[in-house]
Structure 1
């Protein structure tokens, strides 16, 4: 049985922390989120240090993104065929070793660009296998009535890591060097393994037939297709990440052209979005087992589209910062954790890993959607490109979320 100790009502915003194992899992997630925030910035600076080429940096991002997309679904199948906790520990060890290898190559003077490509591709694959188990495990650690709170608190630590990680990376690089930053990065990934090892009170694993992987994948896809709520939420999430979130990897180019701002100002924009996301996560965590979940999902997606279009046409930095704060709040503050919550609530436990892995493909595809957005931006200008992405997302939201009654019906369940 799940172990929980008593919290007073005034702490209901953090009620998932009643569960001992969830607290350990959350602490492990904190180390991973900070490490991942470090990872992307450190490897990006490493590529520029080797090549001085933004094109090569884009290729490294693409090399990470392709296996991340391909292995996301495989990660869900593995999560449903094995002990999710052991899988998390194994992948964390593998990630630590890969980044440690990069650090050793750097300080020894042996590092070449092909090493970065190879290790980035392996990281993309291993982290894709890690993610479905990471999200699916929340449903094993808290009771159903506290699932929305647990997902929101876990999303909060994810967003905190995206603020703290890059700042820590920049500080270590400035005070020491890239090699030291990579060693710190590997150490952060490894440190979280201790918290995972201490988790004890997981439900017993049901007997799972060892069918072929393709059959397992077919079962997951069939479950999604036969559940209107699942395919509606996942469809909205794919539109959200492919179109509305495509700006993330090209934000430096956007800020340079539209706002005439440099790297420091771009970092401040990210901090604003991260703060907005954190506040959104805290508000969501305070809502208890809120019944109108579809209202939050659709309302936040429409808000993302509106704020993104406003951001696209703002040419003043501080108004843009304020707008971007609300982009972060609506997107990763409300929409993404609510989509995760609805999928976990409607996925059968024995298929949860596979179904979450289908959902987890969505964040990975924004690594790929940046390229078409950049092509449109180069041809017609960034304001038109970003506004077009927002409009397409809004049309999908209206089609699947407003005109389709599936989500509204789910609230009455």
Structure 2
């Protein structure tokens, strides 16, 4: 038992053998903690200012709208420009927005439209930084450790989901919203430092091809590559129906449990803890056959869990359910992203991953916007349970059509 334990942990954390990955992971983790500190205060204040669930959905929608509009262009530039410089520019934009929001709060002039506008500009920075990060990450590790690196990246994100809301709740209660936004602004310094320290191996090929033609080439690659189109559609449906639960937690806390920010923090922490367990489970897997089919089964379970949470009126049960939803969300997202990264090639990675990420992220604001309209009409429980059942239906459809040979790595497809 004692001799096998170090080997087990070495297998789980094998991506940390790479210096550049360690640097990026640390910087990204600090920055993401800051993001969740701000998100805690921002979501709570938007709902407190408006008392309308629609504005929670609208805030999320406006934050994702630039990603929907511009990330395809970001993917083209990620394949023809220095990915580190693109990421640095993205961090600068987001840092300025965080400090500006802190200034608006400390001067007592902030309005809801200020928050919505700044969410849009943050999304604008992410629309170019996201494809660059997705394309840069696989170059930091060897191909055989890519799935592990993706899982480790998910762990830092979900570790931040636990630490961020906890710090956000403390900062919001003790010092006010201004400090939440200021802490987020300071957190970007960590990822900026890490970007200056890493060694970027990818050198973009010089091209005179127009941006539009490069974009078309990426879309053709997706259509021709076995399994890629199916993954893009599944990613969109997954986030459309399965990722809106956390966005409407303030509504559950206020209208179902009749509690305050402490309960909101508790539910977010439970969700984040479940996500870390899910990501660790993925990280422990070295090679697995049937990964596509397993992903679909996890998504079916996720839909059922969401429906269960929606009708629950007992807080301990809701905490357990949201823990398992966090597990299912992270495991399915990690598996799908790993499949997408393995199917594509490095020369096309920026464009292909921008399309995949666009589909994955577009479902979140669209689902939130629709649910934000449905909740006042039918109630939060019926709206969320309907979304969960819709995810079950979509996943069952793909499960019946799924052929495991479809999701083959790029190397195997080229050999075939």
TM-score for the superposition, normalised by structure 1: 0.89
Shift in Å at residue 248 of structure 1? 2.9
Partner of 1:3: none
**Counterparts of residues 152-163 of structure 1 (less than 5 Å):** 152-163=151-162
1:2-401 aligned within 5 A: 10-45=9-44, 47=46, 51=49, 53-54=51-52, 56=55, 58-109=57-108, 111-200=110-199, 202-332=200-330, 334-361=331-358, 362-401=360-399
Give the number of aligned pairs: 404
2:80–2:205 contact (8 Å) kept in structure 1: no
- Contact kept? 1:81, 1:210, Cα under 8 Å: no
Q: CA shift at 1:41, angstroms?
A: 2.1
- Judging changes above 3 Å, is the alpha-carbon distance between structure 1 residues 313 and 355 closer, same or farther for their aligned structure 2 residues? same
Residues in 1 aligned to 2:258 and 2:400: alpha-carbon distance in whole angstroms: 38
Pick closer, same or farther for the CA change 1:116–1:22 going to 2, 3 Å.
same
Q: Distance in 2 between matches of 1:297 and 1:56?
A: 32
Moved more, 309-318 or 147-156: 309-318
1:314 Cα offset (Å)? 2.4
Aligned to 1:87, what secondary structure does the other structure show? Answer: helix
> Aligned partners of 1:234, 1:113: CA distance in 2, in Å?
34
Change (3 A) 1:391 1:18: same
**Counterpart Cα distance in 2 of 1:57 and 1:153:** 30
Alpha-carbon offset, residue 186 of structure 1: 0.5
Contact 1:33-1:160 at 8 Å conserved across structures: no
Contact 2:238–2:299 (Cα < 8 Å) also in 1: yes
SS at match of 1:209: coil
Supply the distance in 2 between the matched residues of 1:71 and 1:327 (Cα, whole angstroms): 30
1:4 corresponding residue in structure 2:
none
Structure 1 310/180 Cα, relative in aligned 2: closer, same or farther at 3 Å?
Answer: closer
Q: What is the DSSP-based 3-state SS (H/G/I as helix, E as strand, rest coil) of the residue aligned with 2:184? A: helix
Q: State whether residues 65 and 368 of structure 1, in contact with CA within 8 Å, keep that contact through their aligned partners in structure 2.
A: no
Describe the shift of the 1:184–1:312 C-alpha distance in structure 2 as closer, same or farther (beyond 3 A).
Answer: closer
2:41 and 2:168 in contact (8 A); partners too: yes
1:355 partner SS? helix
Contact 1:145 1:289 in 2 (8 A): no
Which residue number corresponds to residue 3 of structure 2? none
Alignment deviations for residues 311-346 of structure 1 (CA, whole Å, 9 cap, x no partner): 2332222112112211110112x0011111111001
2-structure distance, mates of 1:56, 1:146: 41
Which moves more between the two structures, 98-107 or 223-232? Answer: 98-107
Q: If the length of structure 2 is used for normalisation, what is the TM-score? A: 0.89
Q: Shift of the alpha carbon at 1:120?
A: 2.0
Give unpaired runs (5+ residues) of structure 2.
1-5
Q: Which moved more, 1:155-164 or 1:368-377?
A: 368-377
In 2, Cα distance between equivalents of 1:59 and 1:53: 13
SS in structure 1 at match of 2:198: coil
